[in-house]
Structure 1
Amino acid sequence: MAGHNHGHTPAAWTGVTIAFIGFCVAGAFTVAAKPVGFWAGIVIVALGGVVGAAMRAAGLGMPKSQHPQPQPAAKSQPQAQAQTQQ
């Protein structure tokens, strides 16, 4: 992933930061046994996803042409050992 510049965009950083704040809020209110605060934190988490998607749609995310392509699956370990023993 390091070679693909994965997630280093303003949209990704903003969305993740907002979601992280939401998780912290929800966690704090869970410990305090305040259900309303917990659900407010969950709403903030969802807001992080919405803001990140909106920023990506506005052009602040990674362009589609730069998205990493999936790599073919490597051979499983037992198959690779069997082939080397032959």
Structure 2
Amino acid sequence: MAGSSHGHTPAAWTGVTIAFIGFAVAGVFMVMAEPIGFWAGMVIVALGGVVGAAMRAAGLGQPKEAHPVHQVSATAKPAGAQG
């Protein structure tokens, strides 16, 4: 994955950062035994996914052609193949 720049886009960084903040908020309120705050944190986590997807749709994500299709070459044989 290091060679494909997986996740090195503004959309990915923004979505993950928002989701991380949501998990932190939910964790704090879970320790405080406050269900409303916990669910507010979960809403922030979901918001991170929505924002990341919206940014990707706006062209700030990795283009689809940057994801190479991994195919087994014609000369390679699967593990356990005979002859």
Alignment TM-score, normalising by the size of structure 1: 0.81
Q: Take 1:35 and 1:68, find their aligned partners in 2: how far apart are those partners?
A: 44
Deviation at 1:70, TM superposition (A): 3.8
Q: Take 1:71 and 1:30, find their aligned partners in 2: how far apart are those partners?
A: 45
Q: If each structure's helix is expressed as a fraction of its own residues, which one has the higher value?
A: 1
State the match for 1:36 in structure 2. Answer: 36
Superimposed CA distance per residue, residues 51-71 of structure 1 (whole angstroms, 9 cap, x where no aligned partner):
000000000000011024245
Q: Which runs of 5+ in 1 are unaligned?
A: none
Q: Which runs of 5+ in 2 are unaligned?
A: 73-77
Q: What is the SS of the residue equivalent to 1:24?
A: helix
Runs of 4+ in 1 over 2 A off after TM superposition: 68-72
Sequence identity of aligned pairs in percent?
77
Q: Take 1:27 and 1:71, find their aligned partners in 2: how far apart are those partners?
A: 42
Give RMSD over aligned pairs.
Answer: 1.6
